[in-house]
Structure 1
């Protein structure tokens, strides 16, 4: 539909082009087949580079923009803007081109020019919001756009997100509700409203809306909001049941497991509560935590802070019995802390942890050699 509308507008524009040399049927054929690059080349071949014909320049600019030749398109639109300043469609095109080229400040400049010319231009405010660096900056433009069109779903959605970030939950809810009232089949808006409704204590509404949404599509976020609502309504069995569906699918998270643990606790099923509390802890710990502590220990070693390095390595072991950490502790105790007994103990733990015999052959051989040497030295010292 959009394409044929564009073609219709282009046909109107063709009829207004200067008649000189133009084969209008040929040009129309280019447009209908979306051969915009060819159309631009055709027009450029008929007119000198310094032409002042704004209709021709606009057509060239549009064709170059549609064919992805953005620098050429911008050059043509800039010429038009110089000849006919304050042309809002041209300013929009320049803003669009610069946005696509990643030049946000320049795009924003053209949009600001538009609202100076037309302070009620909804599209300009909507696009300006996308260039806001902070929630507060976005809020200014989104509020203006929403005031001009309260039912636009994109603006309502974006504005609600900003209000939510600012913890202004009632405003976020009300903005979405107006847009939903205008389009009660918009599932995206209804889903966006769920966490906000939970924040406002509208738990029964969350459950009813969630049921409707899950009939259309099983969404993890929707289930998560419903589970929380069940918990706050003290319907603990329902909370457990709905979060169990996520666990069965293998897409549980720290939050869902935590609510299950709390629900079992409230039901006085303490064994299950303890089991899910442990699962929550496991889920909340990154699989890379031991690696992070290994890195930290290595940094302390580089700074000759050996006690701190030892503490970091030991902390890492509480998350994972890493053979690499045992080896590093062995070396640390062996050479820096001069703790012979601990060094032998850590080397042995390294070997018991079954390091890869191929990838870690050198370390394995070295650990065995140090154990033998240190053990013999200790025996000799006793004699």
Structure 2
């Protein structure tokens, strides 16, 4: 009923304003709005008003309907006509910024927002939206600070500003921004969760635990548990720290850091067996599946520079992170063609084939390795 009344007022006002120049079926237009058939509404309005109309209300109404229908080029065309007539009209400028943002033209979107600020230096929404397009951390902070100063209770702005401060390692300002916003909305769990990380950075560990324990009753978010785990550790509540991070492990979302804290906690609890177990898990987690490939790449660079001993060391270092057919093959080539140690070359050619390289993908390498094994088998190692 409320929506119907609002739509009726819009159409009634629009009809009264333009009754002298066109006959409009109010009921039909209202039906288009109610059923969200904005494309039909735009076509209907265009059918009863001349294309060259200079009436800003008509132009913006048609533009709005096209924008809501997703016809952004048509919407922009009509808004630009209206903008040419009223260049200081803030709603038109916001609409143009919105359309350009949706179309990916960030330069134009920022330009319209800057124009708004030039007309209204206290426009909260313009600063807030402009900050979203800013990539430079310091500039982003300055825009968000201005928006926050105009409305420090807005949760989205407070959150964005706090995160921008956090990225710059300015934890105290981030804490104060969140504290003010939370005071205006004590049940905003998003803001409270954001404050956990900042509080940990500031050493407010008991506050993290108190807030975290309240939050997990409503939402067992892994980020909350992660922050609580850190706080427990620094409060020397090592069993609680280990238990918190083991919850993440059970969920399959452990990482190098969480496993490391478990290892340290068990060490402090004098449980050396579990400490050793989690120390090894930490090491395993820290090793990327791509680490051998990285070393192979480094070794290849050394080969290009004819630094064969460095290449050899890099290849072998890569193998400490697991078997890798590429490295075995490259070591075979290195010993065979550059270091001239046939016995070692044979060893690595055999290891290459033993580790079952992909038959189709590596058929040329497989054939070459087999040929070299046959050729080198009777050759004594030379130094």
Q: TM-score, normalised by structure 2?
A: 0.92
1:149 pairs with 2:136: no
Bigger mean CA deviation after superposition, 312-321 or 345-354: 345-354
1:221 Cα deviation after fit = 0.9
Q: Deviations over 1:73-124 (max 9, x none)?
A: 1111111121122111111111111111111221122212222222221111
Look up the match of 2:193. 191
- The equivalent position to 1:133 in structure 2, one of 124, 128, 135, is 135
Look up the match of 1:296. 298
Look up the match of 1:122. 124
Work out the CA distance in 1 between the residues paired with 2:163 and 2:329.
49
Look up the match of 2:221. 219
- 1:249-264 counterparts in 2 under 5 A? 249-264=251-266
CA contact (8 A) 1:36 1:67 kept: yes
1:13 Cα deviation after fit = 4.3
Work out the CA distance in 2 between the residues paired with 1:345 and 1:3.
80
Look up the match of 1:178. 180
1:260 Cα deviation after fit = 1.1
Look up the match of 1:95. 97
- The equivalent position to 2:376 in structure 1, one of 374, 377, 380, is 374
Q: How many residues align?
A: 380
Work out the CA distance in 1 between the residues paired with 2:304 and 2:13.
72
Bigger mean CA deviation after superposition, 143-152 or 266-275: 266-275
Bigger mean CA deviation after superposition, 152-161 or 297-306: 297-306
CA spacing shift, 1:374–1:130, aligned 2, 3 Å: same
Bigger mean CA deviation after superposition, 356-365 or 93-102: 356-365
Work out the CA distance in 2 between the residues paired with 1:21 and 1:250.
66
Look up the match of 1:83. 85
CA contact (8 A) 1:254 1:283 kept: yes
Unaligned runs of 5+ in 1: none
Look up the match of 1:316. 318
CA contact (8 A) 2:8 2:30 kept: no
Work out the CA distance in 2 between the residues paired with 1:2 and 1:268.
67
Work out the CA distance in 2 between the residues paired with 1:147 and 1:38.
42
- 1:331-370 counterparts in 2 under 5 A? 331-356=333-358, 360=362, 363-370=365-372
Look up the match of 2:273. 271
Look up the match of 1:283. 285
CA spacing shift, 1:256–1:8, aligned 2, 3 Å: farther
Bigger mean CA deviation after superposition, 185-194 or 25-34: 25-34
1:341 Cα deviation after fit = 1.7
Look up the match of 1:7. 7
Look up the match of 2:42. 40
Work out the CA distance in 2 between the residues paired with 1:4 and 1:217.
38
Work out the CA distance in 1 between the residues paired with 2:232 and 2:46.
67
CA spacing shift, 1:14–1:332, aligned 2, 3 Å: same
Work out the CA distance in 2 between the residues paired with 1:7 and 1:277.
65
1:16 Cα deviation after fit = 4.1
Work out the CA distance in 2 between the residues paired with 1:2 and 1:33.
15
Bigger mean CA deviation after superposition, 90-99 or 228-237: 90-99
Work out the CA distance in 2 between the residues paired with 1:85 and 1:363.
69
Work out the CA distance in 1 between the residues paired with 2:9 and 2:165.
39
Work out the CA distance in 2 between the residues paired with 1:102 and 1:362.
47
Work out the CA distance in 2 between the residues paired with 1:350 and 1:281.
26
CA contact (8 A) 1:290 1:317 kept: yes
CA contact (8 A) 1:16 1:55 kept: no
Aligned-residue CA RMSD (Å): 2.3
Work out the CA distance in 1 between the residues paired with 2:252 and 2:179.
34
Unaligned runs of 5+ in 2: none
CA contact (8 A) 1:344 1:374 kept: yes
CA spacing shift, 1:338–1:90, aligned 2, 3 Å: same
